[in-house]
A = this chain, B = another copy of it.
């Protein structure tokens, strides 16, 4: 069978760009042998054409001239690996207008501007492929869109940020405070110098918006996602949660709630220690999907890094080259955002279980006071633990696990708990997520 020739240009010669180039150049023969496609990297665009990179390009391939890629009609696929939401957006729009299909790893771009970009792609009869934007090398986008296409997704729980999972794993394993664990992660290359977007949950929210749009078949904007990060997590809360049988993860959750609405949220979540997601350690990612036909399916692997992400980029290049991504992209429809918005749960109405910890003065009447506050707000207590032994200000920690309760009740209760004269400092609440067990 004659090999179909497909030419590729990469824009952005950073870590992932180098990884993708490496695979395309070094594994060209294997890819051709496997797919009958002659996929040729012909151009790499970057403002920096001087610094050494981990892969050697043929002379003349690297340029700072984007137009030389845009105007080259032989280039079928443009791979956007710059990152960010301004220049990258402009680049993607130009590539689509120039008649090129786009492969990208850019979660922030798609989360913020995906709807607009997909529309432009449709208008230009082109496609945007983005497996690499979520969970690195784990083929979760294609699983949701293709392998699980016959299912209604009832819930999706994701550990989608390796930086946060690495930090939390170490906080738990070593009993470290957050700042210490963050510094350690930065020193070892698992957190950026500016880690804000990771530790505040924003990166996970980007990925949830993308995966959720496929899972629930509707446009999701970042405003639809409730986001909390891990900056406020203390080693004490981790220890108390552990005593109650929980471990902490930053989960990205999309779930059809009992009232029929879809909750979209990223927040620290206590999960049972024997839950499958509990064993996901370090910088690894995992996604647990509950589908109407398939039941529970889980995907696990490296969510970031040069080669895992490049694996997803090149998989997309192959699928675009085969024509499959284009067909899927053109065919798959999602509910527009205006229509979809009514489907999303407001965080105030979320029903969840909660871990609440209060530092209480060690004196008579304390339990009576905080228990009355919870009762006033119709919060039923599943378990409670008051440790003997003193914290600062002669205070003792009280930790409570609630039954399912409405979010706004907990928010109001926390205000009243803080106002008690028996409370020291600020009470903490962390949602407990009971991932349903799928067993024989």
Residues of A within 8 A of B (CB): 1, 4, 19, 23, 27, 30-31, 33-37, 131, 136-139, 142-143, 146-152, 166, 188, 190, 217, 276, 279, 281-283, 291, 293-302, 305, 307-308, 310-315, 317-319, 322-324, 327-328, 330-333, 438-440
- How many copies of this chain does the complex contain? 2
Which residues in B have their C-beta under 8 angstroms from that of A300?
A: 276, 297-300
Q: Say whether chain A's binding surface is mostly helix, strand, loop, or mixed.
A: mixed
Which residues in B have their C-beta under 8 angstroms from that of A305?
A: 295
Contact B37 A293 (CB under 8 A): no
**Interchain CB contact (< 8 A) of A282 among B131, B139, B319, B439:** B439
Contact B35 A293 (CB under 8 A): no
Contact B319 A146 (CB under 8 A): yes
Contact B282 A440 (CB under 8 A): yes
Contact A147 B142 (CB under 8 A): yes
**Interchain CB contact (< 8 A) of A324 among B131, B138, B151, B327:** B327
Closest B residue to A281 by beta carbon equals: B439
Contact A150 B293 (CB under 8 A): no
Contact A314 B149 (CB under 8 A): yes
Which residues in B have their C-beta under 8 angstroms from that of A439?
A: 281-282
**Nearest CB in chain B: distance from A94 CB, A:** 26
Cα A279 to Cα B277 with chains together (Å): 12
**Interchain CB contact (< 8 A) of A150 among B23, B332, B438:** B23
Cα A149 to Cα B31 with chains together (Å): 8
5 contacts between A and B (CB under 8 A): A33-B333, A143-B143, A150-B310, A151-B311, A295-B305
**Nearest CB in chain B: distance from A157 CB, A:** 13
Which residues in B have their C-beta under 8 angstroms from that of A282?
A: 439-440
Cα A331 to Cα B330 with chains together (Å): 21
Cα A3 to Cα B337 with chains together (Å): 22
A293 and B23 in contact, given A34-B332, A36-B331 (Cβ under 8 angstroms): yes
Closest B residue to A294 by beta carbon equals: B137
Contact A294 B279 (CB under 8 A): no
Contact A294 B319 (CB under 8 A): no
Which residues in B have their C-beta under 8 angstroms from that of A190?
A: 440
Which residues in B have their C-beta under 8 angstroms from that of A294?
A: 136-138, 301-302, 307-308, 311-312
Contact A148 B315 (CB under 8 A): yes
**Nearest CB in chain B: distance from A418 CB, A:** 38
**Interchain CB contact (< 8 A) of A293 among B19, B149, B323:** B19
Which residues in B have their C-beta under 8 angstroms from that of A322?
A: 324, 327-328, 331
Contact A34 B217 (CB under 8 A): yes
**Interchain CB contact (< 8 A) of A315 among B1, B138, B147, B318:** B147
